[in-house]
Amino acid sequence: MATIKCIGILTSGGDAPGMNAAIRAVTRSAIYHGYAVKGIMRGYKGLVTNEIVDFKSGSVSNIIQLGGTILKTARCKEFTTPEGRKLAYENLQAAGIDALVVIGGDGTLTGAKIFAEEFDVPIIGLPGTIDRDLGGTDHTIGYDTALNTIMESIDKLRDTASSHERLFFVEVMGHTAGYLALYSALASGAEAAIIPEMETEVDQLGELINHGFRKSKNSAIVIVAENPETGGATALAERVKKEYPEYDARVTILGHIQRGGSPTARDRILASRMGEAAIEALREGQRNVMIGIQNGQISYVPISKALRHRKEIDRDHLELVKILSI
């Protein structure tokens, strides 16, 4: 393998609080070990359009506390084509970049895997996603901040739910993973969490109404993981109106507010550790791995394994929501 002299950094996909802390850690760790660093703007789109800038230590000053990503992020249809990736590789070579650190979720790592296979580029991935839906790591950058944002929103919403004696469905992000829904339900004292992992096993709404939601309660909050296939919280509220008209059901969709805000201490520390570990991985000759955290320790996870594996929801925690909601 050719000697690495210059490392490129990009963020891609949905932004997540803590990405800037990761950018800072990658940049300064690389400079500390004598590497040149270049920032690639707007993710893979910046590789295709050649938006590549020199990064110095000062480039990442005063950003650890910021949400979002100073490198920006964008969708890039061109990168999904062989022609687009070839152009990206040519721009990479012209910029003198020998290795990449990419920060993002499953879509970002999927692009990294394909790019690495086609052009033999050493790539290290950092799991930057609020969904916590990648394998090989106990936590992802941004998850803790998003969880706290949801909890604070539900705390405020409960005041209105109690005042108006309503059943509130609160839709949170997560797509095919119910971690945000389940653990925000636990943290906020919600009456139930309706998550994708349980959809084929039980009628979660029917179980809530018939068993989990006592008539003596004059209000309830149910956390629902977004789900394009089933319609999420809106579809559940419509069903309540038809099947359980005695309940006044309302919907609150938190949306992209979950992605924003200053990262928590936990996300800043996690991103800093992972960013430094990405440079250590390259120094050790690692390639095409994602940096994970398992039992508090840094681990190297093949990107293919991180994408293929899906962690199981802890059913005991789901049962705990039910027990504590009586």
Active-site residues, by number, are: 131
Task: List, in sequence order, every residue forming a beta bridge with 123; answer none if it has no partner.
Answer: 100
Backbone angles phi, psi at 204, to 5 degrees: -65, -35
- What is the side-by-side strand order in the sheet with 192-194? 192-194, 220-225, 167-172, 249-253
Cα 297 to chain centroid distance, Å, stands at 20
DSSP code, position 275 = H
3-class SS string, 37-62: EEEECCHHHHHHHCCEEEECHHHHCC
DSSP string, 133-145: --TT-S--BTHHH
Under DSSP, is residue 300 helix (H, G, I), strand (E, B) or coil?
strand
Burial category of 176 from C-beta neighbours within 10 Å (exposed 0-12, middle 13-18, buried 19 and up): middle
- Residue at token pair 């419509």: 238
